[in-house]
Structure 1
Amino acid sequence: MRQMRWQPVGFAVAMGMMLGGCAADAVIPDAQLITGATFITMEDGPAPGAMLIEDGKITALGTEDALRVRNPGAVLSDFSGRTIMPGIVDSHAHVRELGLDALKVDLVGARSVEAIIARIRQQRPDAQPGDWIIGQGWDEGAFASYDGTDAVGGYPTTRDLSEAYPDNPIALESLHGFAAMANDAALMRAGITDTTPDPEGGTILRSPSGHATGVLLTLAQNLLFDAVPDPSPDQLEAAIIAGLGRLAEAGVTSVHEAGMQTGDVAAFQALAEAGRLPIRVFGMLNGNDAALMEDWFASGRQDDPDDWLDIGAIKVFYDGSLGSRTAILHAPYTDRPEAARPTARISLPQVERLAERARQTGFQMAVHAIGDAANDHILTSFERRLAPDANGPVPDHRWRIEHAQLVRPDFAQRASALRLIASMQPSHAMGDSDWAEDRVGSRRIRRAYAWRMLQDAGVPIIFNSDLPGEPWEPMQTLHFATTRTKRDGTPEGGWYPAQAVDRETALRAMTIDGAHAAFQDQALGSLAPGKWADFVVLSDNPLTASDIQAITVEATYVAGTRMTDQGASSP
């Protein structure tokens, strides 16, 4: 049984009433009547005027008078002037990394090695010789367009970084995780020399003379980060709690953690057992880890009846990214094709074996595919594994393609026929808009980040953040999805605005459709009787507000409990 340390909203008020002389049987602390708000339920039918919550679940929606009669002892919470909607389901995120980022140098927005050095000096002024310095957030897409005199493969060398910090090993993770920078001290610690061979699925960028430049692409990063000390179990748990707390503050009540490693699973399970998860987690195991998957295929999915920690999906990393030119394309990259290194991080036969085991054991497949050829390959693999066999048609599988960023002309029809879910990130479109067309040209770009095209073809879409990296808060995601503009409103009119979706579609993709993608739509994702009382209180109505990004989150509730300060409760 989960030992909750938080109290339902209104508990203090209810106790005060009891101690003040009200009859004990007239007050039920576990019952709350929410009134006054504008309700967005994500269900069909007229909006209710009130919501009754009992024992953490929604038991009725209707008029205030009718619900008062139903439970006259319910504690009243008046949210007049506010909007209440289901909690956001962030259906593809990296909570562990979000929490651990507090230990890293923030490099988001740094556009040169000089800027990176300035950030390190500012944020790690007390680094002692020999200390590792870890950073995160330099944009591999922007850096891969570098054309300075020391450019190699589109990237600058890290020579200046080595000169500035000769005694500190430095490892810098990129914004989307497909490249890394390291200075000479870090390369030495990792045993990476000019003669180190490229690992399968990775590239060590080298100068024309054969010198390792300090830039590592895709799986070559493992050579570096295997040398970086791992966080302790306590640090990992603290990072997860910190990350989940930040999500709760932003209005997220459920998150799909993409690519859990063995240590991550243990940390999440320990936190769930101790009742310390502030929001719900749906675990997606790292399918590229063969040993991990063997263990889970043997033991089966984890299904928590209270929905705090379910583990039921396999996240497979297939190709790379457009920014680093490691995504797998049908035709060459339009800009600098000689610098491209298309990379398969796992073989297609391995993907198909995982898919077959997933079908047999009931796990959901969720495969990272960016390039149009990569998406085509995964579609073909899924078509083979989801075809009817001697046992009949495949049951409700809800398999997913993560990103579906650049696709072939027939992708939408094929994906719709398979009932595949396209898991997409509006922030990626806007973050990549400065260089994406350069990578693939004016013809192919019209089939990139193509939300409306997929929706019109009947492909279910879910929107999520893929945090950390690009702006990830839900109202930012909603803004990107519906305007195709950056946070500052540029470009005017939107970047390929025909691919924008309307606000209701976007909100569904961030709530009930996200819950559906985790087989949780009977318990989460909308405001309906019988579901958990997971909801967010907003300063304005996201369906009608003139400025979506100005909307603030005033409270986040999970199972009827108000979550603030990383999981503490307040009346």
Structure 2
Amino acid sequence: MRSLLIAASISALLTGCGDTVVPDSRLIIGATLITMEDGPAPTAMLIEDGKIVSLGTEDELRARNPGVILTDLTGKTVIPGVVDSHVHVRELGMDAIKVDLVGVKTVDDIVARLRDQRPDVPAGDWIIGQGWDEGAFADAGGPGGYPTTEAITVAFPDNPVALESLHGFGAMANAAALARAGINADTPDPEGGTILRGEDGEATGVLLTLAQALLFDVVPDLDQDQIEAAIKAGLTQMAAAGVTSVHEAGMEAEDVAAFKALAERGELPIRVFGMLNGNDAELMAQWFDSGPLDDPEDWLDIGGIKVFYDGSLGSRTALMRDPYSDQPDAARPTARIALEDVERLGENAREHGFQMAVHAIGDAGNDFIMTSYERRLAPDAAGEVPDHRWRIEHAQVVRPDFAERAAALGVIASMQPSHAMGDSDWAEDRVGRRRIQRAYSWKTFQDAGVPIIFNSDLPGEPWEPMQTLHFAVTRTKLDGSPEGGWYATEALDRRDSLRAMTMSGAHAAFQDNTLGSLAEGKWADFVVLSDNPLTAANIPDIHVDAVYVAGELIVAPTTDTPD
């Protein structure tokens, strides 16, 4: 049973009904239906066996289907299930065992959070946290722009402390954790990573990009039961917010095993499209041998390759063509994988039917990846270009010709409205007035014909769909700042933004024939909202009243009555 909250039994309601009831059949009436398809808006939707079989007026569908069970949603709005097309759901589900550091401003704030949330940790046990903003902390002063972790060492001398950053491009560790990891003045920087050091050469406790592996390789691993529990917890949270399908970005081997086990037991509450960790050569060799996983029921498909290429803008590790505008000496632009390895992955992806999805933040990083795509997606001997749907994840800062090149090749820009708002306090400082005009450029991309998908990249920034929609259409934070929006000309309108969160997300996973809109023959995945997101005065105030996946109510009961 996939339901999270099961509606009351309707068997009693059927007693005495004069007409024959079609099993697993219901008619949705009363709601405003936003189908995301072209054409007149229907007023009723008929569902049978988990799929939408007809859309039209209430009168005509009731006349053709006497005795059907009615779900009256008068006053509500129904939208297609949201496709969050770039997530890290295991990390979301693991938040229960991590100290929440979102919003901290200083190392002293971190210490206060750790003490508050982990007051009685036995000596020697690890303390794990997540959420300090590497972009904000990079301006806090100290070696490389970052503060030292001395205060954490003083507060927790007997516990190793490992703290992941908000976007995954930095880590903090106290002295006990550095000792467990064997990191000291003699430890060389690993390729693609940096150990920040003081004047004495000793590690300050801040590790950037691939140097984090030195720390997290010694943090105790979760077992498969724990991973499965974290995945289910994360998916359940997302379902409650109106997400019915996710694209899991960067599956490790143990994640694949956990997702497969949950799918085989029918325990995935919502749908998953998996993107494998392309930086893991051994994992990719196995999957190139076996080929993609295509589930005809669309509960678990694995057909993408997520590659981490450069770093992040906040930590000054993204690859930029010209120096950073602020503290260029503190910048450490990083390629987390060699470009020739990306090239080989692309060649194998095309041969074996996988989709490429490469993380690129800086203008040089995006340019390198676009050039690689242009080579790998060149027409074949017959002059044909495959239906590749390859993606660039983030595409934050780009060169002037990027949009034209992406549109010509049909490369999808996978973008996060929350990142623009989260980065808005410091992004212009990093790249300067000229380059910021080519950053977070949603409207520019759309006008050039670039396919766009909007997603959350959770956990980290606010990720619920109505929050994402708010960021996309207003370019303001949840508190409404800055007034008038941050570079508001790059906002998209409400319908286009919602399409980027539904139809376009399904298309990006080759699932547009079955998901992403309310249309005949597609799965009955839909969300019941308290208000219309296309007209509501304040989008974040809209709440989710119910969620259906394959016609089954999984979040919040509704009242059913027989016709």
TM range (shorter): over 0.9
Aligned to 2:331: 340
What residue ranges of structure 2 are gaps of 5+ in the alignment?
A: none
Residues 215-263 of structure 1: CA deviation (Å, up to 9, x unaligned):
0000000000010011111111010000000000000000000000000
Q: Is 1:319 aligned with 2:315?
A: no
Distance in 1 of aligned mates of 2:514 and 2:405: 30
Cα offset, 1:473, TM superposition: 0.4
Matches within 5 A, 1:101-500: 101-147=95-141, 151-390=142-381, 392-500=383-491
Offset of residue 422 of structure 1:
0.1
Q: Distance in 2 between matches of 1:258 and 1:335?
A: 31
1:509 and 2:500 correspond: yes
Q: What is the one-letter code of the residue matched to 1:45?
A: G
Contact 2:529 2:546 in 1 (8 A): yes
Letter paired with 1:528:
A
> Aligned residue pairs: how many?
560
Taking the aligned partners of 2:322 and 2:357, their CA distance within structure 1 comes to 25
Contact kept? 1:9, 1:569, Cα under 8 Å: no
> Is the CA contact 1:109–1:137 (under 8 Å) kept in the aligned structure 2?
yes
Quote how far apart the aligned CAs of 1:525 are. 0.2
Q: Helix, strand or coil for the counterpart of 1:367?
A: strand
SS in 1 for 2:347: helix
| Aligned partner of 1:12 among 9, 13, 19 | 9
Note the alpha carbon deviations across 1:30-77, whole angstroms, 9 max, x for none: 000000000000001111110000000000000111111222132100
Residue 550 (structure 2) aligns with: 559
Q: CA deviation at 1:177?
A: 0.2
Q: Aligned partners of 2:248 and 2:45: how far apart in 1?
A: 30
Q: Which residue, 61, 64, 78 being the options, matches 1:67?
A: 61
Contact 2:92 2:458 in 1 (8 A): yes
CA distance in 2, matches of 1:38, 1:560: 18
Q: TM-score, normalised by structure 1?
A: 0.96
Shift of 1:10: 6.9
Give the counterpart of 1:541 among 523, 532, 536.
532
Q: d(CA) in 2 for partners of 1:354 and 1:55?
A: 40
What do residues 95-138 of structure 1 show as CA deviations (whole Å, max 9, x unaligned)?
01000111100000001000000000000011110110000000
- 1:37 equivalent to 2:31? Answer yes
> Displacement, 1:283?
0.2
Deviation at 1:543, TM superposition (A): 0.3
1:126 to 1:569, Cα distance in 2 relative to 1, 3 A:
farther
Counterpart of 2:70 in structure 1 is 76
Return the letter of the residue paired with 1:133: I
TM-score by length of 2: 0.98
CA distance in 2, matches of 1:464, 1:531: 22
What do residues 522-542 of structure 1 show as CA deviations (whole Å, max 9, x unaligned)? 000000000000000000000
Separation of aligned partners in 1, 2:304 and 2:187? 35
Shift in alpha-carbon separation, 1:361–1:196, aligned structure 2, 3 A: same
The answer to whether the Cα contact below 8 Å between 2:407 and 2:450 also exists between their aligned partners in 1 is yes
1:530-565 superposed Cα distances (whole Å, 9 cap, x missing partner): 000000000000000010011001111100111138
Q: Structure 1, residues 293-344: CA drift from partner, whole Å, max 9, x if none?
A: 0000000000000000000000000000000000000000000000000000
Distance 2:369 2:547 in 1: 37
- Give yes or no for the alignment of 1:55 onto 2:49: yes
Secondary structure (helix, strand or coil) at the match of 1:84 reads: strand
CA contact 2:546–2:558 (8 Å) conserved in 1: no
Q: 2:40 aligns with which of 46, 58, 75?
A: 46
**What is the CA–CA distance in structure 2 between the aligned matches of 1:7 and 1:437, rounded to whole Å?**
43
Cα-to-partner distance string for 1:403-439 (whole Å, 9 max, x where unaligned):
0000000000011111100000000000000000000
Counterparts of 1:393 and 1:166, CA distance in 2: 62
How far apart are residue 17 of structure 1 and its match? 3.4
Letter aligned with residue 92 of structure 2: L
Q: Per the alignment, in what secondary structure is the counterpart of residue 17 of structure 1?
A: helix
